[in-house]
Every structure is written in C-alpha cells, then in structure tokens.
Structure 1
Amino acid sequence: MPRLPEPLPDALGEAFSCADASAAGVSLKRLRALDLDIPFRGVRRRAGAGEAAATGPLAEDHAARQRVLDRARAYAQIMSGHAFYCGRTAAVLWGTGALPSGELEVGVVAPERAPRRRGIRGRQLAPTHVEVRTLGGLRLSSPASTWAMLGRDAGVRELVRIGDALVRVPRGDRGRRRPEARLCTVDELAEVVASGRRVGSAKLVKALSLVREGAMSPLETDFRLAVVGAGLPEPLLDREIRDGSGRLAGIADAVWPEYRVIAEVEGDHHRTSRSQWARDIEKHTAYVALGFEVVRLTSAHIRPTGSAAVALVRGALRRRGWSPPN
C-alpha cells in the first residue's frame, strides 16, 4: 500500500508558491507528489481545491467564475505587486456573466512591462485607461475600466449584456433595492468612454447608448434589445407593482405602465423550483387583478432571434391600445 504524502502546513492555504513552501520546510520531493496540481510554473495547488458543485439558477455562470477564480488565486502567488487582472478575466471575477477566455488576462500600467508566461495574456495599459481595485484579496481593474477594455474584442450585444450586469441594482430581502451593492453606474461607464480613444471606441459608444439599469440577467437584456430593435416602446425595468393601498404585489421584469402590460422573463429555475413557481402564480394573479396583461416568456421565445417574444408583446400592446408609428 503506497504511503500517503506528508501533510502540508495549513498556513500555505489551497494555493501557494514553491518559494513559500520551501521557506515553510516543504521538500522538493513533497512538491512533486500527486496530490498537488501545477497550475503555473512555481505554483502548487492542493488537488480538488475549490471544486464544490455550483447550484441554483445561475449555476453555470457561478461554476465558470469559480474556475477562473481558482486560477487567479493560484497565479496571484507569483504575480508581481504592480500587476492586476484585467479585461475578460476581471469581467468574470466581477460576476458579470462574461464568457471566460482560455488565458488569464494580467495587466500593468505603462511603462511597466506586461508579463509573459504560459497561460497568461499580458497587457500594458495607459494610466488614463485603467483604475485598479481589490476584490477578495485580488487586484483587478475597476468594473468601468474593465468594461471599456472589452471594446477591443467583444461585440456590441455582449458589451450591452455586461454593461447591464455592471449597473444593475441588486435587491435584498423582501425585494429591497441595494444601490450601494451595484458595481458601477451608467455615468461611470460614460466617463471611461470619454477618457480617451482606445481600440473599440465606436462599439463602446454604441453599447453605452443601449445599457440600462434594471436588467437582472443576460436573458432580460436580450429580450429588451429584441423589443426595442423591433420598434416597440421601450419598457421600464425591474419595477415594483403595488395595489391601491401600497401593498407590494411583485417586482416585474418589464412594464409598459401606459398600456398596463407586464412581461416576465422566466429562466429555468421558475419551472424547477416549486417555491418560485408558487410565488410566480401568486404574483401574476395579483397583476391581473390590478388590470395588467401579463406576457410570460422563456429563453425559447427570446433566443436566438427574439421574434417570438416580440410577437407576443406586440399583440399585448396592441390589445391595450398601442399602435405602431407611421
């Protein structure tokens, strides 16, 4: 029976540099043991660290972010003090739902030299084009400057999705808005666009004109873009619906108050969660009692083209008195 490797000092954590391990008395032989991964040269990580399965309506997004976070924490063990995560890597770490790339993007401010290493995409940035923050002990570009960096390789639709994620105001217990918890504001996005020319400036300007506060998921962003692109009136987003006594009936995804129409964009968890399903029935019954017509939409209505969602909303609006402009 093979001998188990010697325990590592707890002080090393889940990921650590070989230099720190050596200073803690860990031998080179121990660093070659099979219970350690080698994410980067000079770094070791305990095998299986950070692999808890994600659950919930955004499980895939959470799992993708966790994988990037694990790699970022590992590389941070040997990252220089003036470097920081930026671009798509930072967008993932901020929790925007951005798709990760195969490499970690690591930035420095000129005249520092960008790092060159396998698995790392180094970027040298102008001082006017980046602001650095700290998140969970990691240095990374600020939400607004991260968004602007994506103008180089992201399309307008993805920039709008990520922009919506950055400016949305989270809701806490009982639906209370928490503006202090949002990542940035539309004004902050506008400031970085105006901070100087950069690759992708035209796309950033166009995307900025389409970013809205209140879209609570990429699916909701896609729905809004489809509706507006089809010439329908733009809805109000994330709106509290109250009865005559001020009691909260629910928080609607999209509302056309003039026409008393509500659209609800329902992810898969609305179907699989019994408690969510029960809340939806209660909420939609209350909306109808208040005189609203409710259009319930799934991803099949919205993606890939949004034409089915547009047709359903157009029909509801026309029944309620809207007519398209000549």
Structure 2
Amino acid sequence: MDLRTRGRLLAEGYSERELRRMLRTGELCPVRPGAYVFGGAPPDLIARHLLQVRAACEQLSGHAVVSHASAAVVHGVALWAVPLDHVHVTRSRRSSGARRGRRVHVHCAALDADEVVMVDGLRVTSVERTLVDLARTVPFEQAVVAADSALHRHLTNRAALDLASARRSRLPGMPAARRALAFADARSASPGESRSRVVIARAGLPVPVLQWEVRTTSGLFVGRVDFGWPELRTVGEFDGRVKYGRELRPGRDPVEVLYEEKCREDELRAEDLGMVRWGWVDLDRFAPVAQRLRDRYRPC
C-alpha cells in the first residue's frame, strides 16, 4: 500500500476539507497521526504493523533503527503471541533516551555497523541482532518460534546466531536469550511445530527426531513426519490448518487431500508405528497428549 503523509497529500493539492471528507467516507485510512493509506487498512495484523513501521520511520530521526518485534516483521520472521501494538526502534546509545510512548517504543543500546542493515529502504537491525533482542525481551516459547522461523527460512544460520549471542553476552536478559537461541532448530517448519517442541521438552518426553523420514526395512520411503521416536516406534504430528493449506494447491479437492493423508497414516501404521496427533488447542494443555505418547512408546 502507498503510504502518504499529511504534508505530501497537501503538497499534491488536496485541501484540509477534502482530507476530512475522505477520512469520514473511508477513502483515506489513518495509519498513525499524520500518515494515511488510500482505502481500508489491510486486515492482516503483520501487514498493518509493517505500515505502522514505515509511518513511524517517516517521522523519527534517521538515527532510529527498526528493532525487536518490528524488525522481525520487516525481515519476514514468523511471530507467535508477540504484541505488535508498538513500533520498536533502537537508538545506538548505551543508556539515556529510552522511552515507551503510545505508539513507539524507543530502546537504547549499542549497535555496531554490521548489526544494521537496509531492508526495503528501512534501517533495520540484522536478523541475528533482532533474534537476540527478541529473545532477551519475550518469553522462551515466543523466542523459540521466532528463532526457528529465521533458521528454517535460511535468514540466518546456527553459527551466525551463536556468534551474535556470544557477542552481546553482557546485555540484560542474555541468560534467558541464550537458552532460547540454543534450543532453536531449523527443522521446525511452523510456529505450531516450534511450540510443540517446547511443550514436549517441558513434559519430560524423550527428544524427538524432527522431520523424520520413515522407510520400510527395504529402504522404500513411506513418509516424513513432524516428530519421530525411531527407537520407540512412535511418530507425532502437529495438525495445523496451515499444513493442509500448503497441500491444497489450486484445483485440488480438499477431500482428496484428507484422503491422501489418511492413506499416508495407514502406511505409517503398517510399519508398526504408533501415531499421536495434536493441534493448537492441545498445546496449552499438553499433559493428555504427553500421556498418549507414553502409552504408544514401544521400545524396539
């Protein structure tokens, strides 16, 4: 969407009266005071936040660098349960100047030159610094979702993430950040799978093999599962709607997709594998799922 400031609209020949009318009729939608887009705001929370980031950067000094959750949005890192009610920016200062306003949260921290990158015309903290700052300031589960996403999408790699974590070891919140970043795994393909890894660990279950490729004794490929316990002959699948959405290519019948998934599950069971499925609602109360997994574990 084309972001327009009030000054630009006036310079283009719109009058104050026209602007008031367009706001009343919905032809013009406010993003923040003095910044607008034509038509309605996008329904997607991430897209709206990106507009708010751009609007804030139009009005902030050039020393402000988009950071924390806002930088994650700019980089395309998946977030879960991270508030996007403020635009986060960092000024490269060690202490003075930090503030939390109604719409913008200004952080102050040292930023080296290589920790600032340009993305679509915005000055943004690097992916690695963004993940470090997020992991310092959000709960463990939310930090893992973001770090998994960045690794899975090849926005960074394990070596770079470990280096960034060690580099900023003296920042507040780094002990918790190091734990979350160390737990991150590129094989987690979605926020649901990332959250599943966290609750599996909290339940005290054995560490699963992620994206386990199941094969017959003769080596034929049967299928890939989200979580596998090969020595316990058990597989686990997180059933999120996004997964089936990926399978539903244009022109495909939803019934066909579900039938194929059933056939896949039958083939897995034919390999003497116990299967347990869970969804979003189960992640907040995982004990029954954990017990079902324990009940199906069958040591080789």
Would the TM-score normalized by the shorter structure come out above 0.5? yes
Within the alignment, does 1:159 sit opposite 2:159 as a pair? no
Alpha-carbon separation, structure 2, partners of 1:89 and 1:275:
39
Alignment of 1:24-39 (within 5 A): 24-33=12-21, 34=23, 35-39=27-31
Within the alignment, does 1:320 sit opposite 2:292 as a pair? no
> Percentage identity across aligned positions?
25
Within the alignment, does 1:198 sit opposite 2:136 as a pair? no
CA RMSD of aligned residues (A): 3.0
Q: 1:216 aligns with which of 143, 168, 189?
A: 189
Gaps of 5+ in 2: 246-253
Alpha-carbon separation, structure 1, partners of 2:184 and 2:100:
35
Alpha-carbon separation, structure 1, partners of 2:114 and 2:138:
18
| Match of residue 72 from structure 2 | 91
Q: Write the deviation string for residues 228-265 of structure 1: whole angstroms up to 9, x where unpaired.
A: 33333211112333456765433210112223321111
Please state whether the residue corresponding to 1:263 is helix, strand or coil. strand
| Match of residue 17 from structure 1 | 5
Q: 1:258 aligns with which of 226, 231, 242?
A: 231
The change in CA–CA distance for 1:261 and 1:67 in structure 2 (over 3 A counts) is: same
Q: Write the deviation string for residues 103-138 of structure 1: whole angstroms up to 9, x where unpaired.
A: 111223238967986511122230249722344444
| Match of residue 46 from structure 1 | 38
Within the alignment, does 1:125 sit opposite 2:98 as a pair? no
| Match of residue 93 from structure 2 | 110
1:39–1:74 Cα contact (<8 Å) kept: yes
For this pair of structures, how many residues does the alignment match? 284
The change in CA–CA distance for 1:226 and 1:41 in structure 2 (over 3 A counts) is: closer
The change in CA–CA distance for 1:259 and 1:85 in structure 2 (over 3 A counts) is: same
Whichever structure has more helix as a proportion of its residues is 2
| Match of residue 199 from structure 2 | 226
Q: 1:298 aligns with which of 274, 279, 291?
A: 279
The change in CA–CA distance for 1:248 and 1:150 in structure 2 (over 3 A counts) is: same
The change in CA–CA distance for 1:241 and 1:80 in structure 2 (over 3 A counts) is: farther
Gaps of 5+ in 1: 1-12, 52-62, 169-180, 322-326
Alpha-carbon separation, structure 2, partners of 1:230 and 1:147:
26
Alpha-carbon separation, structure 2, partners of 1:201 and 1:116:
21
Within the alignment, does 1:139 sit opposite 2:123 as a pair? yes
TM superposition shift of 1:167: 1.5
Amino acid at match of 1:88: A
Task: With the length of structure 1 as denominator, give the TM-score of the two structures.
Answer: 0.75
| Match of residue 248 from structure 2 | none
Please state whether the residue corresponding to 1:233 is helix, strand or coil. coil
Please state whether the residue corresponding to 2:7 is helix, strand or coil. helix
TM superposition shift of 1:215: 1.7
1:50–1:70 Cα contact (<8 Å) kept: no
Q: Write the deviation string for residues 200-246 of structure 1: whole angstroms up to 9, x where unpaired.
A: 01101222332222122233223222333333321111233345676
Please state whether the residue corresponding to 2:228 is helix, strand or coil. strand
Alpha-carbon separation, structure 2, partners of 1:209 and 1:76:
32
Task: With the length of structure 2 as denominator, give the TM-score of the two structures.
Answer: 0.80
The change in CA–CA distance for 1:286 and 1:69 in structure 2 (over 3 A counts) is: same
| Match of residue 309 from structure 1 | 289
1:83–1:107 Cα contact (<8 Å) kept: yes
The change in CA–CA distance for 1:65 and 1:247 in structure 2 (over 3 A counts) is: farther
TM superposition shift of 1:46: 1.7
TM superposition shift of 1:299: 3.1
